[in-house]
């Protein structure tokens, strides 16, 4: 695309002579990725200021610089000043890739918990209908059947448009984080369906208040295509508030919840089956994945499937071939009736929900191993401990990602919790995560359950005593050593 086409929506103002005919070869906010003929968008970030890298981008061959500051003096290439660089990155990428989301069926999923699980459910169910599906999310991005690692749940704006443009699949399912929304990573993306799962205590280090966190999530619903639809869990109080707001705006809303007037009314949630009624017709859906929270996730995925005119009644059968979601209620049978669950729960509600599910599955004595992420929302820690001690017999606090926080500081915080629960609940501290799991396994007797939460599918960022790199590897290593 020519430079003058890329800039047709902008006023370049007084500039040294520039060549509108120049072919633009790409766009990036990282000077490291700039090559000849590309546009560099300078972003004032949380860690660094992209404007400091303008000389580097020029050295690399940039054809245009976009930034929020005044044009640096004696710039040899044109400079476009914008009010918001992150937003401009999305708008320019959308243009460069020729509005890719407009040409695809795009489904966005937001909420504190359940995005990944629902995305996997939806992908599987759509594939069962004969569609191909791209996935952009926490565990990996999968485009045209090829999986790519990803550092973020929602990639940056340029990447999102690039991935949608590269997709030759029928559908693109995107996990939409609140960070992604407030940082304009979805700028220019238009959605056919937008799903709201729930809003729970998380990320208040970033959003400060639940109200602000909610407003961030609500931004997704401004991105629906004119005929796009919202699918909202109205059992969640924030979901109910969102649904009312969207209806008032004239947006089509598929409500999912226990209310009789919900579009998909939940009639029963029991024994791993959720019974839904749509227009008087009842269907029972079984995700074939333990955990009560997964019943909401399958109901939300089912809402899209039925709206696309595929029978809900087939979902249970179609889920039989579902392979599960890495690090979500992953079950390992250890030895003599000792069971272990690995899960990604890192909010109080998720911890509570997983423990409730385990108890319903027959767990009586549960050792729960988890830790707190350094440099992340610390205000949820009390509630996480309360959720754990409320339903487990023993807690072992261990290392999660420290994110630069000194281990000693985290250890002191854990010691304070040990002190608080002294005499009431067994709270141990073992900072080496692999040794904490080993201790629980060694001490487990027949009928015991072990729950390891927080890391799920993720690789360890810390080197531990055992030669393993994830919770699942550690558990399998210990299982094989037992033989």
> Which residues make up each annotated binding site?
31, 111-117, 152-154, 177, 183, 185
Give the nearer residue to ligand ATP in terms of CB position, either 67 or 371.
371
Reported as half-sphere exposure (CB side, CA atoms, 13 A), residue 31 has a value of 17
Residues 17-36: x where in contact with ligand UAG by CB under 6 A, - otherwise, as a string? ------------xxxx----
By a kind-dependent CB cut-off of 5 to 8 A, residue 46 interacts, out of ligand UAG, ligand ATP, none, with: ligand UAG
Answer yes or no whether residue 297 interacts with ligand ATP by CB under 6 A: yes
Q: Which of 116, 154, 156, 255 binds ligand ATP (CB under 6 A)?
A: 116
Q: Which residue in this structure is represented by tokens 């350094």?
A: 374
Answer yes or no whether residue 48 interacts with ligand UAG by CB under 6 A: yes
Distance from C-alpha of 106 to C-alpha of 175, rounded to nearest angstrom: 11
* Structure tokens, 266: 């939940």
Taking residue 73's Cβ as centre, other Cβ atoms within 10 Å add up to: 5
Distance from C-alpha of 409 to C-alpha of 39, rounded to nearest angstrom: 43
Whole-Å CA distances, 43 to 23, 81, 82, 88, 184: 23, 12, 11, 10, 12
Helices (runs of H) and strands (runs of E) counted in the chain: 16, 21
Give the nearer residue to ligand UAG in terms of CB position, either 163 or 338.
163
Distance from C-alpha of 135 to C-alpha of 261, rounded to nearest angstrom: 32
* Structure tokens, 22: 């120049």
Answer yes or no whether residue 117 interacts with ligand ATP by CB under 6 A: yes
Answer yes or no whether residue 153 interacts with ligand ATP by CB under 6 A: yes
Answer yes or no whether residue 138 interacts with ligand ATP by CB under 6 A: yes
Q: Which residues are annotated as a binding site for ATP?
A: 111-117
- Total chain residues near ligand UAG (CB under 6 A): 21
By a kind-dependent CB cut-off of 5 to 8 A, residue 349 interacts, out of ligand ATP, ligand UAG, none, with: ligand ATP
Q: Shortest distance, CB of residue 401 to ligand ATP, whole angstroms? A: 12
* Residues 5 and 96 sit within 8 Å (Cβ to Cβ): no
Q: Shortest distance, CB of residue 158 to ligand ATP, whole angstroms? A: 22
Answer yes or no whether residue 121 interacts with ligand ATP by CB under 6 A: no
* Structure tokens, 221: 């619903």
Residues 167-206: x where in contact with ligand ATP by CB under 6 A, - otherwise, as a string? --------x---------------------xx--------
Q: Within 456-475, which residues bind ligand ATP (CB under 6 A)?
A: 456
Instruction: Identify each DSSP E strand in 144-302 by its residue range.
Output: 146-148, 171-175, 191-196, 224-233, 252-257, 264-270, 273-278, 281-285
By a kind-dependent CB cut-off of 5 to 8 A, residue 389 interacts, out of ligand ATP, ligand UAG, none, with: none
Q: What's the alpha-carbon Rg for the chain, to the nearest Å?
A: 24
Q: Which of 27, 39, 43, 160 binds ligand UAG (CB under 6 A)?
A: 43
Distance from C-alpha of 158 to C-alpha of 150, rounded to nearest angstrom: 14
Q: Which residues contact 47 (CB under 8 A, 6 or more apart)?
A: none
Whole-Å CA distances, 144 to 127, 152, 163, 229, 340: 13, 20, 10, 25, 34
* Residues 454 and 400 sit within 8 Å (Cβ to Cβ): yes
- Give me the DSSP letters along 15-84: -S---TTPBP-EEES-GGG--TTEEEE--B-SS-BGGGGHHHHHHHT-SEEEESSPPPTT-SS-EEE-S-
Q: Which of 141, 153, 357, 392 binds ligand UAG (CB under 6 A)?
A: 153
Coil/strand/helix, residue 43:
coil
Q: Which of 6, 27, 38, 50 binds ligand UAG (CB under 6 A)?
A: 50
Residues 167-196: x where in contact with ligand UAG by CB under 6 A, - otherwise, as a string? ----------x-xx--x-x-----------
Residues 57-96: x where in contact with ligand ATP by CB under 6 A, - otherwise, as a string? ----------------------------------------
Answer yes or no whether residue 201 interacts with ligand UAG by CB under 6 A: no
Q: Which residues contact 199 (CB under 8 A, 6 or more apart)?
A: 111, 112, 210, 213, 214, 217, 236, 238, 239
Q: Which of 46, 130, 209, 424 binds ligand UAG (CB under 6 A)?
A: 46
Q: Which of 293, 339, 368, 433 binds ligand ATP (CB under 6 A)?
A: 293
Answer yes or no whether residue 344 interacts with ligand ATP by CB under 6 A: yes
**Contacting positions for ligand UAG (CB under 6 A):** 29-32, 43, 45-48, 50, 53, 151-154, 156, 177, 179-180, 183, 185
**Contacting positions for ligand ATP (CB under 6 A):** 111, 113-117, 138, 153, 175, 197-198, 293, 296-297, 328, 343-345, 349-350, 353-354, 456
């Amino acid at each position: 695309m020519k430079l003058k086409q890329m800039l047709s929506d902008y006023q370049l103002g007084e500039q040294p002579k520039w060549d509108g005919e120049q072919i633009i070869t790409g766009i990036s906010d990282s000077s490291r990725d700039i090559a000849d003929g590309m546009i560099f968008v300078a972003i004032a970030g949380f860690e660094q200021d992209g404007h400091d890298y303008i000389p580097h981008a020029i050295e690399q061959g940039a054809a245009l610089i976009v930034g929020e500051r005044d044009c640096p003096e004696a710039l040899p290439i044109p400079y476009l000043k914008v009010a918001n660089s992150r937003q401009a990155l999305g708008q320019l990428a959308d243009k460069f890739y020729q509005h890719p989301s407009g040409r695809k069926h795009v489904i966005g999923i937001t909420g504190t918990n359940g995005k990944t699980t629902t995305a996997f459910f939806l992908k599987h169910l759509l594939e069962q209908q004969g569609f191909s599906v791209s996935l952009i999310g926490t565990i990996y991005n999968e485009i045209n059947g090829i999986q790519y690692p990803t550092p973020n749940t929602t990639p940056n704006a340029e990447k999102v448009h690039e991935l949608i443009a590269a997709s030759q699949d029928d559908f693109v399912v995107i996990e939409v984080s609140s960070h992604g929304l407030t940082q304009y990573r979805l700028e220019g993306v238009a959605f056919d369906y937008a799903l709201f799962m729930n809003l729970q205590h998380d990320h208040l280090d970033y959003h400060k208040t639940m109200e602000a966190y909610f407003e961030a999530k609500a931004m997704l619903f401004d991105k629906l295509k004119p005929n796009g639809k919202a699918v909202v869990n109205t059992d969640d109080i924030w979901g109910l508030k969102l649904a009312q707001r969207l209806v008032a705006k004239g947006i089509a809303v598929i409500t999912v919840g226990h209310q009789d007037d919900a579009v998909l009314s939940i009639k029963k949630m029991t024994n791993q089956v959720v019974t839904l009624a749509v227009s008087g017709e009842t269907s029972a859906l079984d995700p074939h994945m333990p955990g009560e929270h997964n019943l909401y996730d399958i109901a939300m995925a089912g809402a899209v499937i039925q709206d696309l005119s595929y029978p809900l009644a087939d979902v249970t059968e179609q889920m039989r071939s579902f392979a599960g979601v890495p690090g979500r209620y992953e079950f390992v049978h250890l030895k003599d009736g000792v069971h272990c669950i690995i899960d990604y729960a890192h909010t109080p509600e998720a911890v509570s929900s997983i423990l409730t599910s385990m108890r319903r599955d027959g767990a009586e004595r549960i050792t729960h191993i988890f830790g707190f992420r350094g440099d992340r929302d610390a205000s949820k820690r009390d509630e996480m401990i309360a959720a754990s001690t409320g339903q487990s017999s023993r807690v072992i606090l261990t290392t999660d990602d420290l994110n630069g926080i000194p281990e000693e500081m985290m250890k002191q915080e854990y010691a304070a919790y040990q002190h608080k629960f002294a005499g009431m609940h067994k709270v141990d501290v073992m900072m080496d995560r692999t040794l904490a799991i080993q201790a629980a396994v060694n001490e487990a007797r027949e009928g015991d359950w072990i729950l390891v939460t927080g890391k799920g599918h993720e690789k360890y960022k810390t080197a531990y005593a055992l030669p393993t790199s994830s919770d699942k590897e550690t558990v399998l290593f210990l299982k094989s050593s037992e033989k």
